[in-house]
Amino acid sequence: MPDVTVDTANRLQGREYDVTVVLHPLSGRPDATAFHLETGRLCVLASRHRHACIVICRAGVTDLLDDYPSTEPVQLGTVVKFPDGWEANHAVLSHLGEHRVAWRP
């Protein structure tokens, strides 16, 4: 299909599409590594669309996040330059949960 692009978040940076279908970065993971929790990757995946973004996410990803909590040190009174990936993923999944369509085979 010539009008369909399949690629990684890293290589989609700077590109834009009318509609995107995104596989959540933790959907195929048994763990939540810093690489997969990187906020930049999540931002790129969620912002490449002009009209619609459909996020595919397996059940249990929020539980996976809870099994691998944030390990970033907290420093009071310090401005955070980039949001914590663990926190960002929870916030995005919480927002998307309001628009969830459950798939039943």
Instruction: Count how many Cα atoms sit within 13 Å of the Cα of residue 30 in the half-sphere of its side chain.
Output: 0
pLDDT of residue 76: 72
Model pLDDT for residues 46-98, shown as the tens digit of each residue: 899 999 999 998 888 888 888 876 666 666 776 655 567 888 888 888 988 88
pLDDT of residue 53: 93
Model pLDDT for residues 17-40, shown as the tens digit of each residue: 999 999 988 888 888 887 888 888
Quote the pTM value.
0.75
Contact 41, 25 (CB under 8 A): yes
pLDDT of residue 70: 63
